[in-house]
Chain A
């Protein structure tokens, strides 16, 4: 029988707000020594915030943390480190030109002035062997595989005596076999007596590795289950919640035109920042249709969108637009063929924050009439267009000459969408269209997308918000680990089934 409080880390009623958003809402969490706890949830569920609180990066607005019976408060990450808490981030914090040894020593808490190479190397090997995480200390990080780099990250923590290990989406960049290795390593760590917390959105991972799981949704704990109680289908539903009453989806008008507007065949694309990328994604969209792609971030959404519009190279695979192959055409030709794009990176790509609305309206079409006037730009026309969009889309801005970074997210998005819809595209690829927007702006954007579909275009919608996907789409598919899994017609789309596939649990596709 364990003593209450000892061998346990207990978070009670943790609450954290950012402005108006409540990231964590009275969250209770118990981490037991020797057990692997999975923290399951979608984007925005509050997992990362909770982990940042545990590792000392944020302080909670209210609530308590008891570390093995002792009340603790972390004022800085260093406090957490001293307590023996370590986090392996999703994006590794390794210095690539350095060796494994140098990276570990850099993060170590020793106070010696010299680098004791031999002692450190020996210790790395010992710790590695004890936990099944062998890496050659002299290897240079840039030469290691992603799986090996992750081992180094874990070794860093163990080397400095971490007792609690937090792993944020650790298998996002691993191959299945590497992931398997990781689960074994985590099991060994738990058996040796460490606290292990695994943050994930993948259901099969929970089943494969966890002893217990806590499910978060929209900042709250919705379930706490032991291994014996795990039934994956339920997990999917827990993660995405039960169906909310939907406002009227506008049914597509049946038309004779059933031509395929966009077709993607077996697309393979290199990953973004070392992530998985696309591994043979295929899909088809028809005119007068909205195809919604659901999925947790990091499963290939950015890569899919960018390769379709020509901003990212296909390693393998082919693309067709309205029947003509566009695999080899450049992005300009695709724009001119009627393929428009609303990227998820609003200010980093879609708009230039320091420029005003007028310039942003011209961003992609400055080469075409009427913006173009020989070698010159026709700013007058651009201003008129900008004013038109501002009026039509009800953009709240001091003037069309204000730099767009001063506008709210909703207004920025309106300008972005207005610009892309203006030339009446044949196909629109739109990613995360309502991220950070309020209800009114969201409804507005949705209306526009419906209108676009009704006018005959095809829309490829990528969204992390399952509600949005279900509301807008005529057909729904899921992107998981670089492939399109499961395609459902609207009528057959079932939240829990989709949630399961989003978590990687594949059923026979409907």
Chain B
């Protein structure tokens, strides 16, 4: 469980990125943190694994303040996948990259091998085992970064912009994968701008603007409210936009998913014929 208590954070440059954020994330929750560029999303999630410590207020992970525990200890529990894979990758081969953290955490060699193989397989990277991460495309590097964190099986997984550079099929794999991890009891926190992805996953959505939380609730409620989304520089999902353009016909506006949209439209048309 992650508890954020009235956290303020000011960078050394003087930029106040968080202005009193309180939030509690229960074990096994799936949360999407959304909002404008510079709203403080990444700054907030970096507090979860102790990469940043609050200037004021505190963050508790399983009841322990992030000030009282080392990043190394926290990292075992809270895995963080960076927005830009180039900030994370450095090894000569994909395999080495994934093994690196495991070695640091002191996994035995045979467990390590098994985990590396598992992670490579999971993210469709087996053919790149011996390839340099820097020879891979942007989307592939992103998957290597993800694999290297998943390999040590942290309880909480933070994904900063996981869908950037990912094509539709990989997003679908990522989605199923998040749902699966979540079903296994892992807490998943994603930071994202990708409204369509969030519409398909339907997690709890925390909206941020200017260093504060401006809305918190389920995806369907938050993403279909044009006033709220505008405040956080989000555009409602395309399906919602279609329905927002048809409100005068008495159609609902809280539709985010394409299958649901089809169902609603079919019912509407059948109702009309009766």
A binds B: no
Interface residues of A (CB under 8 A from B): none
B residues near A, CB below 8 A?
Answer: none
